[in-house]
Amino acid sequence: ILRCGVEVVRRALTAPARQICDNAHVPSSSVIIERIKNFGPTATYDVLSDSVVDAFEAGVLDVTGVLKVVLQTAASTATMALSTDTIVYHKNQNSR
């Protein structure tokens, strides 16, 4: 289960970069992702110049803080669901 969870998180973390590459018709998103990893934590991909740049120096604003909280909440919820015997789901009463 742990390996599966790690793989899900790994895919989730690289999904934005893969989507940006797909939208820009960049054929090798895996190469770009490796370049971003090697650059450092403030790296981002500039589609127009086809280069990995420092996000702060380039003036790119990112919602990383929000994404971090979403990922932490999802991981916490998944952990709770996997470690309990029962999950109670409250159906929306207004949907009837």
- The pLDDT averaged over each successive group of 10 residues in the chain (96 residues) is 74 82 88 90 87 88 72 80 74 69
Task: Specify the pLDDT at position 44.
Answer: 86
Task: Specify the pLDDT at position 39.
Answer: 92
Task: Specify the pLDDT at position 41.
Answer: 86
DSSP helix/strand/coil, 91: coil
The span from the CA of 18 to the CA of 13, in Å, is 10
Q: Taking Cα atoms as reference points, which of 76, 77, 27, 69 lies closest to residue 47?
A: 27
Residue 93 within a domain: no
Task: Specify the pLDDT at position 38.
Answer: 93
Contact (CB, 8 A) for 46 and 36:
no
The span from the CA of 18 to the CA of 28, in Å, is 9
Residue 96 within a domain: no
Residue 53 within a domain: yes
Task: Specify the pLDDT at position 95.
Answer: 57
Contact (CB, 8 A) for 42 and 56:
yes
Task: Specify the pLDDT at position 71.
Answer: 80
Task: Specify the pLDDT at position 81.
Answer: 74
Residue 91 within a domain: no
Q: Which residue range(s) make up the domain with 80?
A: 2-84
Count the domains in the chain: 1
- Joined together, the tokens standing for residue 35 give 């370049």
